[in-house]
Every structure is written in structure tokens, then in C-alpha cells.
Amino acid sequence: MGKVVAVANQKGGVGKTTTAVNLASGVAAQGKKVLLVDLDPQGNTTSAYGIAKRGVEISVYQLLTGEKTAQEAIVHTQYRVDLIPSNIQLSGAGIELVSFPRREARLREALTPVIGQYDFIFIDCPPSLDLLTLNGLCACDTVLVPIQCEFFALEGLSELMSTIRTVKKMYNPYIDIEGVLLTMYDGRLNLTLQVVQEVKKFFGNKVYKTTIPRNVRLSEAPSFGAPINYYDGGSKGAEAYAFLAAEFVKNNRREG
Ligand code: ADP
Ligand code: MG
């Protein structure tokens, strides 16, 4: 059975999408079968894999409403990673789903038939703690939390942790933290080092040894529709995500 990992943090701009896109590609490059689910109506993960959002006919939206199956929604990208795309249509789902039965478990139920086809399934969550993110948390085995090394890095994390505790109590008893990733890391800055200390105090050994530096190639890659290891395999960003992929796979070998 594949392991489902939600990439979540309700703060925007902390590197969730960049991490989902490039960790998925890095893990696939290690020979694993990977599915990436774009659960953000902005569809940035979808376009980062070279798929035009406007052309998407079957998205996560139709999975959540039950109109289509996961198998029907899966797109084979040109980068070894399979993708369930998203687009702006998904933005209405949060409200529409409220009246659905088992509204928090729609994604989990939709993904169940395809989980066996993959080693890892990554879900890129939107920057919120709404019903979409709740679907991501209920569908996952573990949560990977990117944290940007900046002022107020830990702000909002207690809400995320308390949401995860609620999900654990009410819907998904086995949910756990996969790892905490420090992004936009700059070891020359005192601020970065302070954030690292705080985050380590809070999350202990869940913090990845790998950190992701600020690297302009990482921010350029999405507009070329390619993950970093294809866009510029020699960049610092590509190197960091390759390290992260190796650490991620190693952690999961030890557990499994
Ligand atoms: P989120 O999904 O959490 O909102 P994104 O991954 O979309 O965050 O990142 C926000 C912005 O920062 C994007 O423009 C992205 O290209 C850029 N970015 C993310 N990580 C890095 C990094 N390590 N170095 C440089 N730019 C980055
Ligand atoms: Mg995002």
C-alpha cells in the first residue's frame, strides 16, 4: 500500500507547493512510483508539471463530488510523476461539500482504489484550514510541514497542530507528523538560526536534517512547467530537494 503524505501549513508562501512538486519528482527519481494530488484551487502544482490549468477537464473537484474516479482523473506527466490536477473550479468545493455526507472523507474514499498502485502519494494542501485541507488531512497517513525561516515562523503552527489533533481524535487515528522542513534557509542569518532553534525545540527529531536554501531557480522552474531536477539539475535548489528525497525515502525504509 502506498503511503499518503499531506504537505500542509495554513500559511501561504512557505514552500508547500515547491516542496510537493520537487519532493515528488525527487522521490520518483529514486525509482519510486509517485502520485501527486493538487488540492489547491490555485493549481500551481498542476502548472508546475507543465499542465495547462484551463485545459483540465477532470480535476480533484470531480473526485470530491463523486462525479469521476481517481483513475479517470490521473494524468501521466512527462516527469515520471502521475498527477491529479486542480484548477479554480475547486474553489467552490469547500462550500458545496458542506451538504455532502462524510464531507471530510471524500478525498480519502476517492483515493483508496489507486493507493495500491503507488509507493507514495503527496497531497499539496491549500493555505487554509478549511474543508479542503481537512480532506487532505483525513486522507493522509502523515503530514509534512514546510516552515519558512522568517519572523513569526511558528505563528499559526499551534492551530495546525490542534487541527491535526482533532483529525486524529475524530477521523484519522493513525495520522502522524512525517517531518518538518525548513525552507528559505540562510545559515548566515541570525534570524534563520533563531527560527531553527525554536522549530527544533517544538518538533525535536521530526525536523529534517536537509534544509532548503533560497534559490532563484526554484522560483523560476514552475513557469517552465518542470520540476527543478529537470529544469536545472545542477542548481542548489535541485541539490537540496534531491537530498530531501533521499532523507525521506531513508526514513520510510527504516519505519517500513
Ligand atoms: P506555498 O505553496 O506554501 O504557498 P510556494 O511553494 O508556492 O508556497 O512558494 C511561494 C513562493 O516562493 C513561490 O513564488 C515560490 O516559487 C517561491 N519559493 C518557494 N521556495 C523557494 C526557495 N527555496 N527559494 C526561492 N523561492 C522559493
Ligand atoms: Mg501552494
Q: How far is the CA of 151 from the centre of ligand 1 (A)?
A: 16
Q: Is 214 in the pocket of ligand 1 (CB under 6 A)?
A: yes
Q: Which amino acid is present at 46?
A: T
Tens of pLDDT, residue by residue over 150-190, are 888 888 888 999 999 999 999 999 999 999 999 999 989 99
Give the three cell numbers for residue 24. 515528488
β-pairing verdict for 82-84 and 34-38: parallel
Q: Which residue has the cell 518542470?
A: 226
Can you tell me the distance from the alpha carbon of 77 to that of 35, in angstroms, rounded to the nearest whole number? 10
Model pLDDT, residue 15: 97
To test the pocket of ligand 1, the residue of 10, 211, 219, 220 to mutate (highest count of ligand atoms within 8 Å of its CB) is: 219
* Segment holding 125, helix H or strand E: none
Tens of pLDDT, residue by residue over 127-151, are 999 999 999 999 999 999 999 998 8
- Whether 201 has a pLDDT exceeding 60, the answer reads yes
Label residue 95 by pLDDT band (50, 70, 90).
Answer: confident
Tens of pLDDT, residue by residue over 47-74, are 999 999 999 999 999 999 999 999 999 9
Q: Is 215 in the pocket of ligand 1 (CB under 6 A)?
A: yes
Label residue 98 by pLDDT band (50, 70, 90).
Answer: confident
In the chain the domains, ranked by start, together with CATH numbers, are 3-255 (3.40.50.300)
Atom from ligand 1 closest to the CA of residue 14: 3
Q: How far is the CA of 12 from the centre of ligand 1 (A)?
A: 9
Model pLDDT, residue 136: 98
Which residue would you say has higher pLDDT here, 189 or 45? Answer: 45
Q: Are 39 and 107 in contact (CB under 8 A)?
A: yes
Q: Is 219 in the pocket of ligand 1 (CB under 6 A)?
A: yes
Give the bridge partners for 90, in sequence order: none
Helix axes 157-170, 131-139, angle to 10 degrees: 60
- Whether 255 has a pLDDT exceeding 70, the answer reads no
CA distances (Å), origin 203, targets 6, 104, 197, 248, 249: 17, 27, 10, 17, 20
Q: How far is the CA of 110 from the centre of ligand 2 (A)?
A: 22
Q: How far is the CA of 2 from the centre of ligand 1 (A)?
A: 27
- Using a 10 angstrom Cβ sphere, with 0-12 exposed, 13-18 middle and 19 or more buried, the burial of residue 149 is buried
pTM for the model stands at 0.97
Tens of pLDDT, residue by residue over 209-234, are 999 999 999 999 999 999 999 999 99
> How many beta carbons lie within 10 A of that of residue 187, not counting itself?
10
Q: How far is the CA of 198 from the centre of ligand 1 (A)?
A: 22
Can you tell me the distance from the alpha carbon of 89 to that of 80, in angstroms, rounded to the nearest whole number? 26
Model pLDDT, residue 155: 83
Q: Is 94 in the pocket of ligand 1 (CB under 6 A)?
A: no
Model pLDDT, residue 13: 94
Q: What percent of the chain has pLDDT over 70?
A: 99
Does the interface ipTM go beyond 0.85? yes
